Structure 1
Amino acid sequence: MRMALGVSYGGTAYSGWQSQPGGNTVQDRLEAALERFATVPVSTVCAGRTDAGVHGLMQVVHFDTSLERAPFSWVRGTNTFLPPDIAVQWAQPVPDSFHSRACAVGRRYAYVLLQSPVRPSIEAARVGWVWRPLDEDAMREAIEHLLGEHDFSSFRASGCQARTPVKTLRRIDITRRGPPAGAGGPHGAASCYWRFDFEGDAFLHHMIRNIMGSVVAVGQGLRPPAWMGEVLRARSREAAAPTFSPDGLYFLGPQYDPIWGLPERTAGYDLLP
C-alpha cells in the first residue's frame, strides 16, 4: 500500500531536507524513524526539497509499504523515534497513482521578517531580520513585476537542477503586524513583523531567498521599485541582490487536487504572524 504523511520540522539543526552522506537531514531522520517503527527500510519521496535552515509546516511525503497499520499508528509510532523538532502531523493511505511531487499543482512558502533596531532573541533562527524600516508601498509595487509566468534566472542559485527557469508566481502577499508605521520606540522606529506569502507552480533553488534579498533592498530605499523588473529581465543572478537568510523561510506545503482528500494545513500555521 502507499502512504502519505504530512511532516513539520524546524530546519535550524539540519542540512536541509534531502538525504546526504552525513545523515544530518530531515529526510535521514524521518526515514530512520520509519524504519524503526516498520522494522524494515523505508524510502520516502517529498513534495519539495528545502535548504539548510529552512522550516517546514507541512512537507508531504509518500512511501510504499507492506505493513498494515492504522493511519494514527503511523503518526504516533514514527514520532516516538523522531527528535523534538520533527513530527509527523498526519498519515493517510493513498492510491498507487498518487505521487507527492508529481501530483502537486502548486506550492506555498512564507517568509517572516522582524524589522527592529535590536536583533531577535527568542525568535532567533525563526525569523529574518532587518534594522532599517521598510516601505510597504514600494515593496508592493516591486513584487507586481514578478507575478505571472517568467524566466526567473536572476533569482536562481548556480547549483539549481531544475530543467527550466520558467516558473509561474500566482500570488505574493505582504502583511505587517505591529505598531502603526511611523510609530516610535525606545531606539527610534518601532519594531514590527512582516510576512511575505508566495504561491506558485514550483520554485527554483534559492528562488524565494533571492527574491527576498531584492524585495528588502527596495523596501529599504536602496533600489526603486522599477528595478525589480530590470532584474527579472536581465536573467542573470548578478543583477539581483544577495541571497537573504534562510531563518525566516517556511515551506507551507504543496497544493493538491481535492480528489486526493489530503489535509491543507497543520496547527503550526497558526503560530506564524
Structure 2
Amino acid sequence: MRNIALLVSYDGTGYYGFQSQPGGNTVQDKIEEAIHMLSGERVKLTGSGRTDAGVHALGQVANFQTTSSIPAERWAIALNSRLPNDIVVHAAVEVALDFHARRCAVGKTYRYSINSFRFPDVFARHRVFHHPAPLNFGAMREGLTHLLGEHDFTSFTSPLSTKPHHVRTLYEASLRVDAASGGSEASGRGVAHITVTGNGFLYNMVRIISGTILQVGEGKRRPEDIADILAAKNRARSGPTAVPYGLTMCSVEYGPEWGLNWKPPYN
C-alpha cells in the first residue's frame, strides 16, 4: 500500500464544495473518478479542508492510498488528462502511510477578495465579491488586528459547527489593496484582499470575519468593536456571512517531517 499526496487548484464555481456529498458534483468526486479511470481503484480522497460550494482553492492538499505501481511523479499529468479543466493537480508525491492531509496540517491560509469599484469586473465575477461603494480600508485593517493571536472564535463561526471547542490561533490577519487594480486607499476604491493564516479554521469562520470587517469598512462598526465581538462568544454579535465565491484557500502548511514544502502555484 502506498500513500500519495496531491497539490490541487480548482475553480469552485460549478461544484457543491470539495467534500463528497450524496448529490455528487464535488471536487473530491471528480478526482476520485479520475483516479478510478487511471488505476481502476475506488479510493477515498482526504482533503486538508472542506471548502464550501463556490469557494476556490489555489493550494488544496489531499491524499489517498493506492496499491498501484504508477510512479508518483506521473500521477499529476495522468490525472489532469482525466479531470475537467477547472480542476488541476500541480504535484503528486509519495508520503508516509500515516500522513493525513487534514490531521497533519499545522497551518492554513485563506484569502477573501473584494472589489469596491463602482462597477464589477466581468472577468473576476466568480472569484471577487463586488461592493459598489467605497470602503475605509484603513479601518478594516485596524479591525483585523484584534483577531490576531489565540481566541475563542465562537462569534465567528456558524451555530452548525460540530467542533468540540472554538479556540483557534491566527498568525496573520491583514488587508492589502492590489496596486495593479488602479485603486487607492484615499478613494476607498480598489480590489482588496483580506488574508488570514491560522492553525485551523471553523465552519464559515473566514466568511464571517470578512462579512464583519466589511461592515467596519462601511462605517457600520468601529475597528475596536471586533475585540468586543470576540469577547461576547456569540454569533449574533458579528456580521453576515460573506458570499462564498470571494473566498480562496491559498495554502496548507505541514511540519518538516512530511517533506511537503509546497507553495501556492499562483499568486
Q: TM-score, normalised by structure 1?
A: 0.92
Q: 2 CA distance for matches of 1:35 and 1:52?
A: 24
Q: State whether structure 2 residue 264 is matched by structure 1 residue 266.
A: yes
| Matched residue, 2:231 | 233
1:47-70 C-alpha deviation (Å, 9 max, x unpaired): 111011100111111111110112
| Matched residue, 2:254 | 256
By how many angstroms is 1:258 displaced? Answer: 2.4
1:116-161 C-alpha deviation (Å, 9 max, x unpaired): 1112311111101212212122112211211111111111112222
Q: 1 CA distance for matches of 2:57 and 2:97?
A: 25
Q: State whether structure 2 residue 138 is matched by structure 1 residue 134.
A: no
By how many angstroms is 1:95 displaced? Answer: 1.1
Of residues 159, 169, 183, the one that matches 1:179 is 183
Native 8 Å contact 2:48 2:62 kept in 1: yes
Q: TM-score, normalised by structure 2?
A: 0.94
| Matched residue, 1:217 | 215
Native 8 Å contact 2:251 2:264 kept in 1: no
Number of equivalent positions: 263
Q: 1 CA distance for matches of 2:91 and 2:98?
A: 20
**Aligned partner letter, 2:186:** G
Q: 1 CA distance for matches of 2:147 and 2:123?
A: 33
Q: 2 CA distance for matches of 1:230 and 1:97?
A: 41
| Matched residue, 1:186 | none
Matches within 5 A, 1:1-273: 1-177=2-178, 178-182=182-186, 191-268=189-266, 270=267
Structure 2: runs of 5+ lacking an equivalent: none
Native 8 Å contact 1:89 1:266 kept in 2: no
Q: 2 CA distance for matches of 1:37 and 1:228?
A: 49
Name which of structure 1's ranges 28-37 and 159-168 shifts more when overlaid on structure 2.
Answer: 159-168
RMSD over aligned CA atoms reads: 1.4
By how many angstroms is 1:249 displaced? Answer: 0.6
Q: Report sequence identity in percent.
A: 38
Q: 2 CA distance for matches of 1:16 and 1:89?
A: 19
Q: 1 CA distance for matches of 2:130 and 2:152?
A: 28
By how many angstroms is 1:217 displaced? Answer: 0.4
Structure 1: runs of 5+ lacking an equivalent: 184-188
Native 8 Å contact 1:57 1:251 kept in 2: yes
Q: 2 CA distance for matches of 1:180 and 1:114?
A: 12
